[in-house]
């Protein structure tokens, strides 16, 4: 039987060789979920065991096989999977069962993945803490009393605990990066347009979010990205396909460390120090790492982001306006704030975004990659909705504590969240390794070299 912590690349190689059957892998996956998911609540809407075993048996009999053939996967509960309940973590959609697959799901299904259920997420994906009134909270496997982050928290925990070898997620404001950093796993936000958006709704104004892969190693990230990426004729802003696998050896690079952005982003004690231990690994690998002065106003990035985000979220929630009283308070705040935006506010936010883009282009003329922490605080109590202060600085919104992810999100830059180790509290934290638009393969290669020198995901959760 396979190990619950083998990589997806290893499992798929065994499936192709015949040394492992899809039935054996499915049995091991479901047994592991039965063993640990009651403590963690990462997998939701799990399908019937007999149906899944039957589907795995069929997979063993198929001769033409895709890149993910026979691999069990659970999809983030914001994305439609035909025949599987998709709740968005909202009571308003608690009984919704889609009849068709979303675009990314269709690609993964075509590649041979077997969908076992969904992974938990906050209500409508809002907030970097995975809890909702439909499925409840997902716990951090490194400390069951702590948050796992979000919004792809269920996916991250399923990976960290060995329930899945590979997972999908999505990222608007750190949702692939924050939970990866808090669970000792990897999450990758690809370049804007690398993975096309769903071909519905607005296709131009509200493209702040993207789907992306999560795994326990960068090689598996590249594997899933090759399935997810590539243009679709229905999507006008898609980037041309570029094969990620196999990842090349990373050449020596000049890397900039942005830290706390010159003090503009408050950090809890120990965050910067732990992340700086990761910088030493890059130096030992032959890269030049040096501190970088703030290249742009953190407050202008923040103001631009919260304007454009509320504008986009309000558009996504407008179908629920008549029943908005059923939404959580932060979702109502986003909806009402976005609907009140003026054209002038949107224009000013776009101008600030453009200015940051120009500054970033200039910065990447000097640096091949930049690094920031994945979060400004350690995983907080799972019963808390969001932290009200960091190191004595009051958080003026429910998401201000995730300001550190915005330099990437606002420009849609490729960013790999990688483990940076554990603090004295025994909790994990991560770093964001990011580069210029289109440099996805280079960032993944850099992360792969780092992974080979550290192997942080080998440190399994002690709670399980």
Give the catalytic positions in this structure. 76, 151, 175
- E strand or H helix at 220: helix 218-228
Please list, in sequence order, all residues whose beta carbon lies within 8 angstroms of the beta carbon of residue 327, skipping any fewer than 6 positions away. Answer: 90, 92, 123, 124, 317, 320, 335
Q: Which two tokens stand for residue 157?
A: 């925990």
What residues form DSSP beta bridges with 393?
390
- E strand or H helix at 53: helix 49-61
Cα–Cα distances in angstroms (integers) from residue 81 to residues 56, 105, 113, 458, in the given order: 17, 6, 12, 31
Cα–Cα distances in angstroms (integers) from residue 102 to residues 223, 319, 404, in the given order: 20, 19, 30
Please list, in sequence order, all residues whose beta carbon lies within 8 angstroms of the beta carbon of residue 66, skipping any fewer than 6 positions away. Answer: 110, 111, 112, 227
Q: Provide, for the chain, the percentages of residues in helix, strand and coil under a 3-state DSSP scheme, each rounded to the nearest 5.
A: 40, 15, 45
Task: Go through the chain and tell me how many residues it has.
Answer: 464
Count Cα neighbours of 90 within 13 Å in the Cβ-side half-sphere: 21
By the 10 Å C-beta count (0-12 exposed, 13-18 middle, 19+ buried), 289 is classed as: buried
How wide is the angle at C-alpha 150 spanned by C-alphas 146 and 154, nearest 5°?
80
Q: Among all chains, which residue has been given the structure tokens 């906050």?
A: 122
Q: Which two tokens stand for residue 382?
A: 């799972």
Instruction: Report the C-alpha gap between 352 and 409 in whole angstroms.
Output: 14
Write phi, then psi, for 206 (nearest 5 degrees).
Answer: -110, 30
Pure H helices in 49-168:
49-61, 103-110, 153-160
CA nearest 372: which of 284, 301, 453?
301
Q: Among all chains, which residue has been given the structure tokens 């299904």?
A: 109
DSSP secondary structure letter of residue 199 = S
Instruction: Report the C-alpha gap between 308 and 403 in whole angstroms.
Output: 14
């Amino acid at each position: 039987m396979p190990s619950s912590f083998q990589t997806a690349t290893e499992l798929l190689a065994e499936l192709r060789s015949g040394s492992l059957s899809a039935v054996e892998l499915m049995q091991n996956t479901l047994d592991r979920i039965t063993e640990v998911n009651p403590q963690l609540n990462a997998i939701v809407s799990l399908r019937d065991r007999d149906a899944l075993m039957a589907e795995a048996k069929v997979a063993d009999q198929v001769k033409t096989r895709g890149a993910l053939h026979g691999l069990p996967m659970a999809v983030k509960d914001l994305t439609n999977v035909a025949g599987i309940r998709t709740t968005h973590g909202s009571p308003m959609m608690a009984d919704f069962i889609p009849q068709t697959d979303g675009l990314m799901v269709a690609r993964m299904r075509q590649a041979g993945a077997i969908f076992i259920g969904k992974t938990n997420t906050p209500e409508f994906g809002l907030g970097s803490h995975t809890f909702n009134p439909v499925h409840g909270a997902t716990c951090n496997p490194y400390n069951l009393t702590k948050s796992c982050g979000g919004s792809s928290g269920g996916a991250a925990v399923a990976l960290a605990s060995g329930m899945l070898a590979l997972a999908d997620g999505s990222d608007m404001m750190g949702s692939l990066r924050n939970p990866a950093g808090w669970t000792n796993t990897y999450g990758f936000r690809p370049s804007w347009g690398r993975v096309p958006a769903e071909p519905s709704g607005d296709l131009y104004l509200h493209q702040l979010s993207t789907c992306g892969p999560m795994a326990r190693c960068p090689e598996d990230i590249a594997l899933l990205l090759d399935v997810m990426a590539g243009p679709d004729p229905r999507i006008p802003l898609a980037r041309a396909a570029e094969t990620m696998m196999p990842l090349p050896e990373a050449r020596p690079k000049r890397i900039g460390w942005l830290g706390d952005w010159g003090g503009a982003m408050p950090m809890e004690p120990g965050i910067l120090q732990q992340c700086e231990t990761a910088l030493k690994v890059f130096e030992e690998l032959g890269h030049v790492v040096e501190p970088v002065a703030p290249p742009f106003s953190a407050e202008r990035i923040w103001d631009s982001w919260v304007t454009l985000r509320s504008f986009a979220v309000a558009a996504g929630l407008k179908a629920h306006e008549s029943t908005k009283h059923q939404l959580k308070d932060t979702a109502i705040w986003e909806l009402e704030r976005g609907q009140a935006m003026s054209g002038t506010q949107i224009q000013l936010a776009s101008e600030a975004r453009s200015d940051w883009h120009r500054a970033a282009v200039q910065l990447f003329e000097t640096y091949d990659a930049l690094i920031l922490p994945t979060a400004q605080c350690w995983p907080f109590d799972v019963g808390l909705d969001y932290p009200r202060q960091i190191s004595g600085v009051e958080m003026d919104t429910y998401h201000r504590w995730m300001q550190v992810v915005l330099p990437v999100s606002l420009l849609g830059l490729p960013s790999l969240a990688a483990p940076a180790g554990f603090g004295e509290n025994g909790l994990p934290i991560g770093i964001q390794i990011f580069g210029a638009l289109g440099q996805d393969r280079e960032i993944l290669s850099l992360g792969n070299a780092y992974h080979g020198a550290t192997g942080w995901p080998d440190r399994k959760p002690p709670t399980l």
